[in-house]
Amino acid sequence: MKKIYYLDDLHVGQRFGSGKYVLDEAAIKRFATEYDPQPFHLDHAAAAKSFFQGLAASGWHTAAVTMRLFVDSEFKPAGGIIGAGLEALQWHQPVRPGDELSVETEILELRPSRSRPQQGMVKARVTTYNQRKEPVQIFVARLLVERFVP
């Protein structure tokens, strides 16, 4: 049973790791076929001539896999992981077939809600790495987290 975190159980600088997730070529093409059907996500020959110089996963696929790793991590806020939005997201380099992704989350800011005493906002940086520990994607998320109300 993993620990559940209310807002006041978290602290700035706290970090959470994740498991690992391999994006294979079939999964990259399946996601792209449904959500991002551009040649450089679907076809080796077309991808070789593109900006990516080889087949690459859709950035939204990387984002979706990041969410899966985040949900399965030890970061278990009370009420679930509920995103209000992102302050920024960068895709730093392509994700290639066979890359193994993992995620590190760092708490940057904690703020109780002024209007809702049972709720607060957590700002967290979520960095997605490949197997060479190179960041492939970094975003800063604003999450709604419950406060413990006795």
Q: Which stretches of the chain bind a second copy, using CB under 8 A? A: 31, 34-40, 50-52, 58-60, 63-65, 67-68, 71, 79-91, 139, 144
Neighbours of 91 (CB within 10 A): 19
Q: How far is the CB of 12 from a second copy (least distance, A)?
A: 22
Residue 119 token pair? 């709720």
Q: How far is the CB of 91 from a second copy (least distance, A)?
A: 6
Task: Measure the CA–CA gap between 147 and 131, rounded to whole angstroms.
Answer: 36
Neighbours of 107 (CB within 10 A): 19
Q: Which is nearer to a second copy, 70 or 107 (CB)?
A: 70
Q: Which is nearer to a second copy, 42 or 110 (CB)?
A: 42
Q: How far is the CB of 98 from a second copy (least distance, A)?
A: 19
Contact between 116 and 21 under an 8 Å Cβ cutoff? The reply is: no
CA torsion sign for 31, 36, 40, 46 is positive
Q: Which is nearer to a second copy, 10 or 65 (CB)?
A: 65
Residue 62 token pair? 């990387």
Q: Which is nearer to a second copy, 13 or 134 (CB)?
A: 134
Contact between 92 and 62 under an 8 Å Cβ cutoff? The reply is: no
Q: Which is nearer to a second copy, 16 or 40 (CB)?
A: 40
